Amino acid sequence: MREAFTAELDAISDDLVHLTRLVGSAMNRATQSLLDADLRLAEEVIAADEQVDVITAETEEKCFDVIALQAPVASDLRIVIGALRIASSLERMGDLAEHVAKQARMRYPAPAIPQELRGTFAEMGGIAEAIVSKTGAVIATKDVALATDIARHDEQMDHLHRELFTIVLSPSWKHGVEAAIDVTLLSRFYERYADHAVSVTRRVVTIVTGEPYAGVTLDAGR
């Protein structure tokens, strides 16, 4: 019974790591589609989100079956419930990558971001990639030391998000209201993506250490 439980937990963990790769690749390619105004790539990202939804649903079913069949209690149950929530967060990260790609598609053939913000979004994309890759590693290895790194990346993302407001609101902004709204929403998608990665990490840390992880702040709302 215990062995079966452990094997099923491993399978769920593998699914979650797989999901981090999928939503990591999605955000990475969405960023590329944004920077290159690449319609084909944007369409691919949008189409690929269905796979994320399917794997999330399968993972949730596995969690459900483990609870129903093995009736875990105490920390074992917390692990499975935690996995359910991690799956939800990862699915949402996939949605956010899809939103970025949709923005690229909506503005095509024009680029969705002005030249002077390409660096900012390239950097946001890089941080998103780093944060999701480390999130996958936390799930796979349970090495909670990586949580510090992840929190740092999240701070970098928040910093870029705030910096973007400064750029958009400066007198030198020449791209008008529509472009300002576009980049604000895009920036918020990246910021929320990082928040969800932090939230996933926090759940793993709570499971591993048995204590709530208070080292991060989430979603300041702007």
Min dist. Cβ of residue 186 to a second copy (A): 10
Residue numbers of the site for a second copy (CB under 8 A)? 64, 67-68, 71, 73-74, 77-78, 81, 84-85, 88, 95, 98-99, 102-103, 106, 165, 168-169, 173, 176-178, 180-181, 184-185, 188-189, 219, 221-222
> CA 175, CA 194: separation in Å to the nearest integer?
27
DSSP H or E segment with residue 34: helix 2-36
Min dist. Cβ of residue 143 to a second copy (A): 26
Residue 176 burial by CB count (10 A; 0-12/13-18/19+): exposed, middle or buried?
exposed
Which pairs from 171-180 meet CB under 8 Å and 24+ separation?
A: 175/114, 179/113, 179/114
Q: Which is nearer to a second copy, 11 or 71 (CB)?
A: 71
Q: Which is nearer to a second copy, 84 or 140 (CB)?
A: 84
> CA 67, CA 107: separation in Å to the nearest integer?
46
Q: Which is nearer to a second copy, 10 or 65 (CB)?
A: 65
Q: Which is nearer to a second copy, 137 or 180 (CB)?
A: 180
> CA 203, CA 206: separation in Å to the nearest integer?
5
> CA 26, CA 45: separation in Å to the nearest integer?
6
Min dist. Cβ of residue 109 to a second copy (A): 19
Min dist. Cβ of residue 67 to a second copy (A): 6
